[in-house]
Amino acid sequence: GNSVTQMEGPVTLSEEAFLTINCTYTATGYPSLFWYVQYPGEGLQLLLKATKADDKGSNKGFEATYRKETTSFHLEKGSVQVSDSAVYFCALKGSGGYNKLIFGAGTRLAVHP
Amino acid sequence: DAGVIQSPRHEVTEMGQEVTLRCKPISGHNSLFWYRQTMMRGLELLIYFNNNVPIDDSGMPEDRFSAKMPNASFSTLKIQPSEPRDSAVYFCASSLLGTSGFNEQFFGPGTRLTVL
């Protein structure tokens, strides 16, 4: 079945450091891939998405490229801010009908001044 | 739009009591999802509806859990009887299922349930 594996946290960085959060997936067909972010005390919000191989999703300085050859969708940001502290979830939607998402376990990011 | 609305935001109850969580999806959305989030198990999909019909309830942990969607603007998740291991944050999300592509799931703020 479909599954998502992402790196364990917490990830602790200083402000302006480079961020990478690894995500790999297992899926049949041609899934769509997503990163969601959860700020403290809130629900999840869509951060970015990519719907086919080699697509790059980007938003708020974050980027992720859909790599079919390595079944990966790593999240990157060149310079993190304290306000980026949150939990980040990688997710996939299978090539079937409904908008059902399979989420990874989440990676907590803490950015210090 | 007010977004997905969940109530109550916090619920504290005693073991054995019935608990009802409520969700109002975004107007016009036709898919609704209930999730549970715990430190140990992460984010789990419990059940989802399309056009008020349950499509997949394989994530519902046991018969103590039930969910209904009597109309397009309201859903409930009920736990009866509740147990301490049900303590978690429960999220409701909604989306618009169209004829092509993916439409974003919008999450509510969650209900934090504590069963003593």
CA angle A16, A113, A15 (to 5 degrees): 10
Q: How confident is the model at residue B2 (pLDDT cuts 50, 70, 90)?
A: confident
Q: Which regions of B14-61 does DSSP assign to beta strands (E)?
A: 19-24, 31-38, 42-50, 53-56
Residue A42 is classified by DSSP as S
What pLDDT was estimated at residue A80? Answer: 97
Percent of chain B whose pLDDT exceeds 70: 95
Q: Which two tokens stand for residue B10?
A: 């916090």
> d(Cα B7, Cα B105) in Å, to the nearest integer?
19
Q: How confident is the model at residue A97 (pLDDT cuts 50, 70, 90)?
A: low
CB atoms within 10 A of CB A98: 16
Report, in this order, helix, strand and coil percent for chain B, each rounded to 5.
5, 55, 45
Task: State yes or no: pLDDT of B101 exceeds 80.
Answer: no
What pLDDT was estimated at residue B1? Answer: 64
Q: Say whether residue A42 is in contact with chain B using an 8 A CB cutoff.
A: yes
List, for residues A22-75, the tens digit of each pLDDT value: 999 999 888 999 999 999 988 999 999 998 899 999 999 999 999 999 999 999
Query: B 4-33 residues with CB below 8 A of A?
Result: 4, 31, 33
Q: Say whether residue B100 is in contact with chain A using an 8 A CB cutoff.
A: no
What pLDDT was estimated at residue B75? Answer: 98
Beta bridge partners of A108: A87
Q: Say whether residue B1 is in contact with chain A using an 8 A CB cutoff.
A: no
> d(Cα A41, Cα B37) in Å, to the nearest integer?
12
Alpha carbon of A61: minimum distance to chain B alpha carbons (Å) = 20
Interchain pair B97, A98: CB under 8 A: yes
Alpha carbon of B85: minimum distance to chain A alpha carbons (Å) = 19
The number of C-alpha atoms within 13 Å of B112 and in the hemisphere containing its C-beta is: 6
The SS3 assignment for B87 reads: coil
